[in-house]
Structure 1
Amino acid sequence: MYIIIYSLSPEETKSTAQTLATAFYVGISGIVGSYIRRLIMIILGLNICLD
């Protein structure tokens, strides 16, 4: 992923582009991980209220 971002971004914005890509990746992985965790809990019948 970083090689693609590094090659596509202009020289003066390479570090910013990589930082934004990392932040986006970490944010999306947290959202997807929480969704999958909830699906597994529903499938297994674990009714734990985490609110």
Structure 2
Amino acid sequence: MIVLATGSFLNSSKTQFSDPVILSGLAIEFVGTIWLVLYLNQRRKRHKA
């Protein structure tokens, strides 16, 4: 999932680097994806213990 987000981010930055709205939207989505993965990992660790 993270690889796909990174790939789409790189492709978009090449084609539409001048559009800050798209870049900021992708950045928020990227951070949200990382936060979600970390949150789920913490829940899984806490559930095991």
Length-normalised TM-score, structure 2: 0.61
Q: 1: distance between equivalents of 2:39 and 2:29?
A: 16
Length-normalised TM-score, structure 1: 0.59
Which stretches of structure 1, 4 residues or more, deviate above 4 A after TM superposition?
A: none
Q: CA RMSD in A?
A: 2.0
Please list every run of 5 or more consecutive structure 1 residues that lacks an aligned counterpart in the other structure: 46-51
Q: Is the 8 A contact 2:17 2:23 kept in 1?
A: no
